[in-house]
């Protein structure tokens, strides 16, 4: 007995030591007259090269163009990102913000706080980002008003203590691989299984699909993360079970897709009721995942029928009543419109990327360099990883059409009609062109869609592409 007690203690001790040494370094960097400078850091003997590397990379990646530095608009400028530092075998969670300074250009100085852990511990960031954000955000506000370097040092110290305490309270700080739990829910026959098969283009199976018995689980991979898809069979007895044992089924959900059949007026109250109960169960366990609501079976041929439009309007109105606490986005989807499925799905996935803001920053950087109004980045499966747009309308149009360009591109390539690795369309207007281009970024094939207005666009792209790719390269492995 005494023996096992001892070995337990030992285990706990080891565990505690591991936990407290999880944070390898913290660096506060500021863009001052000497450029990106690591101003305050822990540990004090952190070597100079590492410090500098961290300051340079975090500030330059997150800052993009210096033009938006503006002391009057400090509030809105803040981004999180998970960045790899392979040279020093560490990974960082970086928060970018501005510090008001009447002397500085634009009356503000760019700054970052970076928390570093060993490379293999990166899931710690992904799994705890919700909480880490709050802790770091608070320290950043303190830094914004700090008066002298003593105060800065205190802030840094207190940040470190808060992180250590946070880690100590965690039962399991993180798992080895990043796992993402995605739920598909909705009434029976709402089309969940068909939706999932449609994304995978398994059309021959859609026509044979049978009601799902209980939960069907499947694992796939995206940029090194495991996507675990839970399809919750929608028959009444199963639904009752999910709601009764919501801690089990809804535990740790990262993303929820809910489907409602817009053609089935008879069951819409039943569908809404189920949705509401699921939301309440999530609230009960304090879980607030992003939600993608699919108004499904909005088939292309009946999309504009009066009855369908009225039903959609009604559903949207009703849903607002009980989803205020959630980040919810609504899509009209149909298995007869493949891209409607893909855009709903990729939107959900992009919500999971802790790097979505800095991805967008890189697209904005490239857009500025190339006079583009709109840029969108796709992966091989036409999932939209990120986009940047100067106006909402064209943004929407390109989002819808991007996957079609990819099909065109691949078709031309397949028949060897395309000699270069891009497609250009003219005739949009005198000067504006649409350009679709393949990129090789690390081991991935990615695709760029640009709405570009420059005369010498080829030159502009050539001049900046290399740097753009190198910016994306460091981010892609930590996309999700």
Among 445, 293, 319, CA closest to 382: 445
Backbone phi and psi for residue 134, each to the nearest 5 degrees, phi listed first: -65, -45
Which option in ligand GTP, Mg ion, none does residue 194 bind, with CB closer than 5 to 8 A by kind? ligand GTP
Alpha helix locations (H) across 321-424? 338-352, 356-370, 392-414
Who contacts 443 (Cβ-Cβ below 8 Å, separation ≥6)? Answer: none
Among 24, 178, 192, 268, binds ligand GTP (CB under 6 A): 192
- 94 or 194, CB closer to ligand GTP? 194
Task: Find the binder of ligand GTP among 194, 311, 346, 350 (CB under 6 A).
Answer: 194
Q: Least distance to ligand GTP from the beta carbon of 38, Å? A: 53
Give whichever of 186 and 289 is closer to ligand GTP, judged by the CB atom.
186
- Would you count residue 214 as binding ligand GTP (CB under 6 A)? no
- Which range, of 42-50, 93-101, 192-200, 453-461, touches ligand GTP by CB under 6 A? 192-200
26 or 262: whose CB is closer to ligand GTP? 262
The β-bridge partners of 231 are 184, 216
121 lies in the binding site for ligand GTP (CB under 6 A): no
233 binds ligand GTP (CB under 6 A): yes
Q: Judged by CB under 5 A, how many residues of this single chain contact Mg ion?
A: 3
Q: Which of 69, 112, 114, 212 binds ligand GTP (CB under 6 A)?
A: 212
Give the separation between CA 226 and CA 181, rounded to whole angstroms. 9
Residues 47, 49, 55, 58: is their CA dihedral positive or negative?
negative
Given a contact cutoff of 8 angstroms between Cβ atoms, the answer to whether 391 and 373 are in contact is yes
- Pick the binder of ligand GTP from 64, 81, 84, 191 (CB under 6 A): 191
Contact between 335 and ligand GTP per CB under 6 A = yes
The one segment of 12-20, 182-190, 316-324, 444-452 that binds ligand GTP by CB under 6 A: 182-190
The least CB distance from residue 335 to ligand GTP, in Å, is 4
CB-wise, 235 or 401, nearer to Mg ion?
A: 235
**Which of 209, 312, 328, 465 contacts ligand GTP by CB under 6 A?**
209
8 A C-beta contact, residue 223 and residue 477: yes
Residues 342, 403 contacting (CB under 8 angstroms): yes
Q: How far is the CB of 217 from ligand GTP (least distance, A)?
A: 13
> Which of ligand GTP, Mg ion, none has residue 334 at its interface (CB below 5 to 8 Å by kind)?
ligand GTP
- Looking at residues 390 to 409 of the shown chain, list those that interact with ligand GTP (rule: CB under 6 A): none
Distance CA 36, CA 52 (A): 8
Closest to 377 in 3D by CA, of 471, 278, 454: 471
Distance CA 476, CA 455 (A): 31
Least distance from C-beta 237 to ligand GTP, angstroms?
11
Residues 210-229 touching Mg ion, rule: CB under 5 A, are 212
Residue 28 sits at φ, ψ, to 5 deg, of: -105, 115
Identify which of residues 31 and 275 has a Cβ nearer to ligand GTP in the complex.
275
Contact 340, 202 (CB under 8 A): no
The C-alpha atoms of residue 20 and residue 75 are separated, in whole angstroms, by: 33
Contacts (Cβ under 8 Å, ≥6 apart) of 249: 183, 215, 230, 232, 241, 242
Confirm or reject binding of residue 64 to ligand GTP (CB under 6 A). Answer: no
- Spatial CB neighbours of 75, under 8 Å, sequence gap ≥ 6: none
Site string for ligand GTP, 277-316 (x = CB under 6 A): -------------------xx-x-----------------
Q: How far apart are CA 268 and CA 277, in angstroms?
A: 14
- The Cα-based distances of 172 to 15, 23, 53, 62, 85 in angstroms read 10, 15, 31, 31, 24
340 counts as binding Mg ion under rule CB under 5 A: no
**Choosing among Mg ion, ligand GTP, none, which partner's interface includes residue 191 (Cβ < 5 to 8 Å by kind)?**
ligand GTP
Among 128, 334, 353, 370, binds ligand GTP (CB under 6 A): 334
Which residues of the chain form contacts with ligand GTP (CB under 6 A)? 186, 188-194, 209, 211-212, 233-235, 296-297, 299, 334-335
Which residues of the chain form contacts with Mg ion (CB under 5 A)? 192-193, 212
């Amino acid at each position: 007995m005494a023996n096992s007690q001892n070995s337990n203690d030992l285990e706990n001790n080891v565990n505690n030591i591991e936990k407290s040494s999880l944070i390898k370094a913290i660096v506060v960097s500021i863009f001052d007259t000497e450029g990106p400078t690591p101003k305050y850091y822990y540990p004090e003997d952190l070597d100079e090269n590492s410090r500098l590397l961290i300051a340079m990379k975090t500030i330059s990646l997150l800052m993009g163009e210096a033009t938006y530095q503006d002391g009057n608009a400090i509030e809105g400028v803040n981004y999180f990102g998970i960045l790899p530092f392979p040279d020093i075998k560490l990974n960082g969670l970086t928060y970018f913000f501005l510090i008001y300074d009447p002397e500085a250009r634009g009356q503000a100085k760019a700054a970052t706080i970076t928390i570093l852990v060993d490379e293999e511990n990166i899931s710690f960031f992904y799994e705890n980002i919700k909480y880490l954000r709050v802790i770091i955000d608070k320290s950043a506000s303190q830094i914004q008003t700090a008066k002298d370097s003593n105060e800065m040092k205190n802030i840094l110290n207190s940040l470190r203590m808060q992180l250590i305490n946070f880690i100590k309270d965690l039962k399991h700080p993180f798992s080895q691989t990043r796992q993402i739990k995605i739920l598909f829910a909705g009434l029976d026959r709402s089309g969940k299984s068909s939706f999932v098969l449609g994304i995978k283009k398994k059309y021959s199976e859609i026509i044979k699909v049978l009601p799902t018995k209980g939960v069907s689980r499947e694992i796939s991979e995206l940029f090194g993360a495991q996507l675990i898809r839970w399809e919750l069979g929608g028959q009444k007895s199963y639904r009752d079970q999910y709601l009764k044992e919501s801690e089990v089924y809804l535990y740790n959900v990262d993303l929820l897709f809910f489907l409602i059949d817009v053609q089935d007026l008879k069951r819409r109250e039943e569908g809404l009721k189920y949705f509401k109960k699921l939301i309440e169960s999530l609230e009960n366990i304090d879980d607030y995942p992003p939600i993608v609501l699919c108004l499904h079976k909005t088939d292309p041929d009946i999309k504009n029928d009066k009855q369908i439009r009225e039903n959609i309007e009604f559903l949207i109105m009703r849903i607002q009543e009980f989803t205020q606490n959630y980040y919810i986005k609504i899509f009209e989807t149909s298995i007869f419109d493949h891209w409607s499925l893909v855009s709903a799905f990729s939107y959900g996935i992009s919500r999971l990327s802790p790097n979505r803001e800095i991805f967008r920053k890189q697209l904005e950087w490239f857009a500025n360099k190339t006079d583009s109004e709109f840029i969108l980045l796709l992966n091989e499966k036409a999932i939209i990883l990120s986009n940047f747009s100067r106006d909402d309308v064209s943004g929407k149009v390109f989002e819808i059409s991007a996957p079609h360009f990819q099909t065109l591109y691949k078709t031309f390539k397949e028949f060897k009609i395309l000699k270069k690795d891009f497609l250009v369309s003219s005739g949009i207007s005198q000067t504006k062109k649409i350009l679709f281009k393949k990129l090789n970024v690390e081991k991935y094939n990615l695709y760029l869609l640009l709405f570009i207005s420059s005369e010498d666009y080829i030159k502009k792209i050539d001049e900046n592409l290399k740097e753009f790719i190198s910016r994306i390269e460091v981010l892609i492995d930590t996309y999700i």
